[in-house]
Structure 1
Amino acid sequence: MSGAGTRGRVTLGLQAAAVALGLLVAAPVQAVQPDEMLADPALESRARALSKGLRCLVCRNENIDDSDAQLARDLRILLRERLVAGDTDAEAVAFLVDRYGEYVLLNPPATGANLLLWVAGPAMLLAGVGIAFASFRRRSAVSGDTLDEAERARLAEILKE
């Protein structure tokens, strides 16, 4: 009986070790391929920094540096081409925004039509709080002392029982 228990503990220990090893191996992986990287470390560093703020148009809420999608690869290459051509960071990002729209930005500026999206969340929260407050006030006003004398007498009689 004790041999079976020991084997069970050993198996459980091996499973735990396998899970721990899997978690260590499953570290975040960059999708940038070696053939995309620039030879100049300064330009590559700029490209990586800019890539973190650009959205993969296929994967939605993933930056192009982390995405394996072909379109993300194309965006990474296009960004690097613009930097090699001499664009500043702002010019390179502006080129991509002109070409793909503000949706390509993971954190679009709070201006124009985007201002509505930035304000909508807090506005809905405040509206919900206001509705809840009004509902609680109305409920407390209704639940006040609205019993007539006969109802009070009947309630007192019920409570005595």
Structure 2
Amino acid sequence: MTRWLWCVLLALAVVSGVARAQAIDPLPFKSHVEEVRFQHLTSQLRCLVCQNESLADSNAELARDLRHEVFDLMNTGKSDVQIKQYLVQRYSDFVLYDPPFRRGTLLLWLGPIILLMLTAAALMSTPRGHGDAPAHERQDELW
């Protein structure tokens, strides 16, 4: 009985959270196609406050403002590429989840590979301890 009650409460919390999120940020979409385009576009943009959430998923106030700005730009007839370019001009490549490969983002793209190679080199150069006994044990043998 208790497990069933917890499941019902969890389901109600999820449903109310979704409804609350939609009530916080209602946008007057003209069609379902426009709404899908908006969701796709905002899922490709990073929340500048949360950093690990997309603009579509974030509840931060700045994310809400940026969603409204994206919606307004869509209504002025801007393409997805133009909207992204506008946001990159204002907030740099950081606003994109998939930043372009260029000199300014070289470390971002190659950093993990370089870090992995340095870690592998450090691990291979570390003594394993399979050889001679440690120095304190060797001194005992001398006496």
The residue type equivalent to 2:6 in the other structure is: V
The residue type equivalent to 1:57 in the other structure is: L
C-alpha distance in 1, partners of 2:88/2:96?
Answer: 8
Post-superposition offset of 1:32:
4.8
Report sequence identity in percent. Answer: 31
Q: Which residue of 2 aligns with 1:22?
A: 9
2:26 partner SS:
coil
Q: Is the 8 A contact 1:58 1:69 kept in 2?
A: yes
C-alpha distance in 2, partners of 1:32/1:94?
Answer: 27
Length-normalised TM-score, structure 1: 0.68
Length-normalised TM-score, structure 2: 0.76
- Structure 2: runs of 5+ lacking an equivalent: 133-137
Q: Which moved more, 1:90-99 or 1:38-47?
A: 38-47
C-alpha distance in 2, partners of 1:50/1:134?
Answer: 47
Q: Is the 8 A contact 1:36 1:76 kept in 2?
A: no
Residue 85 and residue 23 in structure 1: after superposition, are their counterparts in 2 closer, same or farther (change >3 A)?
same
Q: Which residue of 1 aligns with 2:75?
A: 84
Q: Which residue of 1 aligns with 2:135?
A: none
Q: Which residue of 2 aligns with 1:114?
A: 105
Correspondences of 1:120-159 after superposition (within 5 Å): 120-136=111-127, 139-140=129-130, 143=131
- Structure 1: runs of 5+ lacking an equivalent: 1-12, 145-150, 155-161
C-alpha distance in 1, partners of 2:126/2:62?
Answer: 50
Q: Which residue of 1 aligns with 2:57?
A: 66
For these two proteins, the number of residue pairs brought into alignment is 131
Q: Deviation digits for residues 38-80 of structure 1, max 9, x if unmatched? A: 2232222211110001111122211121222221111111111
